Amino acid sequence: MGRGGDRMEGGGGSDRMLGAAGDDKVWGGRGSDHLDGGIGNDTLSGGDGADRLLGRDQNDRLFGNAGADWLDGGRGSDLMTGGRGADSFVFDIGANLGARDEITDFDVTDDRLLLSGGASLPALLDRAEQHGSDVHFAFGGGAELWLRDVELAALEARTELL
């Protein structure tokens, strides 16, 4: 566990790292890693393997890289890029009031969008609109989610209620 403003790098195995407070930079390396940014504007990079990236509070940047990764930005306006592999992206509506998350590389053939904080999946999907090549969700309380270069019709089959 870091003390804040940390730079941590994992090794060849499965690592578990917690950045705590401050703006941390955490790299998982090879293996299936668990990276938790804690409080701060963090950058988490999973590397190879099936990684779990948790941004927690504030505005984070999460990069899964290779493998089937789980990316959850937590509170704040976050940027999430899964990379290669079948990734799961989590967006908690209640935790993101007034925030705007962005998913840059959602693949409708492999990836999953997991929405939390809604009554029903159809009601949440009704909040989505196609804007050019992107999909925009506008939830209550100013919570927003953007998926870049995704067709809404294809996204619906890859979205689940968490």
pLDDT digits 0-9 by tens, 111-146? 999 999 987 999 999 999 999 999 999 999 999 999
Amino acid of residue 78: D
- What does the pLDDT read at residue 2? 58
Token pair listed for 51: 């990684």
Using an 8 Å Cβ cutoff, are 115 and 135 in contact?
no
Question: What is the pTM (predicted TM-score) of this model?
Answer: 0.95
Average pLDDT, the chain: 94
Instruction: Report how far residue 28's alpha carbon sits from residue 8's, in angstroms, rounded to the nearest whole number.
Output: 8
pLDDT of 1 higher than 70:
no
Report the candidate in 29, 39, 30 with the shortest Cα–Cα distance to residue 8.
29
Half-sphere exposure for 152 (CA within 13 Å, toward CB): 15
Token pair listed for 142: 């100013």
- What does the pLDDT read at residue 119? 79
